[in-house]
Structure formats: C-alpha cells, structure tokens
Amino acid sequence: MPTIYFVAGEASGDNHGAALMRELRELWPSIEFRGRGGPQMKAIAGDGFDNWIADAGVLGLWEVIKKYGYFRTKFRQTIAEVNAVKPDAVLLIDYPGFNLRLARALRSGELAPRIIYYISPQVWAWHRSRITQMARCIDLMLCIFPFEADLYNRSGLRTRFVGHPMIDRLSPERIQVNRQPELVGLFPGSREREVRKIFPILMRVVKELRKRRASLEFEVTAASPRLATMMQEMIAADSAELGIEIKTGNSASLMQRAATAVVASGSATLEAAYFRLPFVLIYRVAWLTYIAAKIVVRIPHLGMPNILAGSEIVPEFIQHRADPVAIAAAVLRLIEDPAAKNRMLGEFDIIIGKLGQGGASRLAAREIISEIAPNGSPAIA
C-alpha cells in the first residue's frame, strides 16, 4: 500500500497539505498518509497523523529559541517515525526551519527515503547558497512561483512549477458586489503575536484617517473568535471614537467590498492582489527578530506582490517605518488619486497572471505520483 509521510508546521501548510491529500486520494484511492500537520490534514489522514500545529506554528527567532527543547524532541520523533513507517516518499511543506534540517538528516540516514518539497522555502530571499545544499538532499521541488523553478533548476535542484493553490481556493470566494467607496479594510494578521504588534498601529491609523476624512468607515477581519475578542478588548476604551467593526473570518468578502486597505505582510497580500484591492503593507515584529532578519535577508522588498513585480508597487511600512501618519497618507492617496490606484491594479493583474490558471494541487499530486508510482501506475486521468 503506497504511503506518504507529510510534515507541515503552520496553518497555511495545513491548508495546502489538505488540498494535496484530497487530490492524491482521488487519483490513487489506496494511498495512505502519515506524519504531522494540522486539523484539516488529520481529518483526511485519520489515525497515525499528528495534529501539532497549535504548538509548532510559532513566529520569530525568540519564539523558536524559547521552544528549542520542544522542537528538538519533535525532530527526533519525526525521524524515528519515518524510519518505522518506511514511506514511499516524505513530503515536506514549507516550514523551512524544521523541514530543511529534516531533509538533510533523512538523506544522511540509513533509510534515505525519496524527499519531495512542496511550497518552496524562500531561501532565495535570505540564503541562496543553501540551494546547492538543498539539491543534494531533495529529489523534487514543487514550487508555486515561476521564478523559483528557473532559479532552482539552474542550481541542479529538479523543480516543477505547479501554480499557486491560492487561485483554486479563492476562485469560489468571488462575489458580485460593488466596492463601498468609504470603507477601509484592516487585516492585522492571523497570529496572536502579529495582532498584538500590528493592531495598535492600525488603531492609530484609524484616528489619523478620521481627522482627515470623517466619512470613512473601518472594518477588520479576525482570523478566529479568540483574536476577535482580543481586538475588541484592545479598542474597548476608544470604541466610540474608533468606530471599527470587527468580524470573524471571511476576509475574502471584505477584500471585495473595501475601497482600500492596510494589510499585514503575509499570504493576505497576494489575496488582496487577487481581489484587486488597493492596499498598503504594514509589518512589525520583535526587535530581535527584525535585527536577525535584516542581517540575512537579501531582497529589497517584503511583500510578495512587490517581489513578483520587482518593484515597490505596494507601499511598505515595516518596523520603525510603520508610522500611522505616513500610513494614513498612503491610504488616502489610494482613495483620492484614481491614477495611483489604477497603476497598482494594473500591476496586480500582471503578477496574478503569472501564478497559473488553477489546478495547482492536482498538478502537484500528478507530479508526486509520477515520482513514486512503480511503472507509471496508477493510471492518472
């Protein structure tokens, strides 16, 4: 019975992993899944799969250091499980701090299973020299950005571009709705630590915008009820002055109703581009994490729309530059300057067009089966 051992360590990896599992199971019904990931993956895989994301999905250097003992234990357990299961392949999804080390350890072990990496770690941003090392321990890289395939293949790492799974996930979320010209969307991130750092800045941005344009309305989307409650507590003292409406989930709706937005760096920036929502980008982390990132990051932009465009098409306000007055001015420009807004939307159309026409998970599943199936079986429709 064919078996794939998955390792995903964050909520986004759980989303991608679950979509990939569904496609693999449809193409090869007898396939079994083991490993560790999140609740969506476990619901498909069943027993023998560890839902560890609540503990594993940490953000920032200091947070990882504090949980060093936990990750060391999980690392050893994962190697032992792979050796016991003897899967046809180990499939690693993003999560480079853990998964790249795991790939090296598995390659140097006695079993040395076939290793496939899905959702490429962004080593091109911080350590391109690692690509050559990766080529020695990864059999196949499945990437979601076209420039990654060119880069990795030149370095000897066999790579396939399968398209971005976001296209399939967001396509059903499209709604027929007119944008509300006075509505500003606020997207402070999906992790508690992000929200605690970023939402207070957004509150000050709202105050600045209200001074300059009293007719504006503000809505924030919370990734979970717990984060919604946390934000309600943060605005409690100024709720009347701020007038921020907090809703849980369904960020896609807000992205299609708002006239403009302030978006925390992350997957939401590409989602905003997909929905043609003009926005400015904000991010702030612990200073230790920021300093460490500045030492190693080798690219001029943080937001993926800017990386794909090769220029700052979306204004970035990072760390000490996340000044509420400057952010408010950038938001107002997108509302009041149609030419600036349309230039941004034109760039969004170009970069989203580079991410494929859909079917990324199905194409990734086909590549995986072709890699591990004996004699090209099963027959893939």
Mean pLDDT, residues 202-215: 96
Kindly report the number of other CB atoms within 10 A of residue 175's CB atom.
10
pLDDT score at 199? 96
pLDDT digits (tens, 9 = 90+) for 89-121: 999 999 888 999 999 999 987 777 899 999 987
Tell me the torsion sign for CA atoms 175, 11, 103, 304. Answer: positive
Confidence band for 378, pLDDT divided at 50, 70 and 90? low
Please give the share of the chain, as a percent, with pLDDT higher than 90: 67
- How far from 283 is each of 248, 290, 321, CA to CA, in Å? 21, 10, 9
| Number of residues written out for the chain | 381
CATH fold of 171-353 reads Rossmann fold (3.40.50)
Kindly report the number of other CB atoms within 10 A of residue 186's CB atom.
26
Nearest to 312 by CA among 290, 352, 343: 343
Decide which of 126 and 171 is more confident: 171
Confidence band for 381, pLDDT divided at 50, 70 and 90? very low
Strands (DSSP E) found in 21-143: 32-37, 49-51, 89-93, 115-118, 140-143
Confidence band for 10, pLDDT divided at 50, 70 and 90? confident
Degrees to nearest 5, angle at CA 290 with 344 and 94: 70
Confidence band for 295, pLDDT divided at 50, 70 and 90? very low
Residues of the chain with CATH 3.40.50.2000: 3-165+359-376, 171-353
pLDDT digits (tens, 9 = 90+) for 37-88: 999 999 999 998 999 887 776 665 656 777 778 889 999 999 999 999 999 9
Architecture of domain 3-165+359-376: 3-Layer(aba) Sandwich (3.40)
> 80 exposed, middle or buried (CB, 10 Å; 0-12, 13-18, 19+)?
exposed
Least confident stretch, 2-16, 123-137, 173-187: 123-137
Please give the share of the chain, as a percent, with pLDDT higher than 70: 90
Take residue 319 and report the two structure tokens written for it: 């760390």
Task: Look up residue 352 and give its amino acid.
Answer: I
- The secondary structure of residue 377, as a DSSP letter, is P
Task: Return the SS3 of 134.
Answer: helix
Cβ neighbors of 78 (< 8 A, separation 6 or more) are 7, 35, 36, 102
pLDDT digits (tens, 9 = 90+) for 142-160: 999 988 888 888 888 899 9
Least confident stretch, 219-228, 301-310, 330-339: 301-310
DSSP character string of 216-238:
-EEEEEESSHHHHHHHHHHHGGG
What is the signed CA dihedral for 55, 59, 62, 68, rounded to 10 degrees? 30
Mean pLDDT, residues 128-148: 85
- DSSP alpha helices (H): ranges in 164-303? 166-170, 192-212, 225-235, 239-242, 251-257, 267-274, 287-296
On average, the pLDDT of the chain sits at 89
Mean pLDDT, residues 2-26: 94
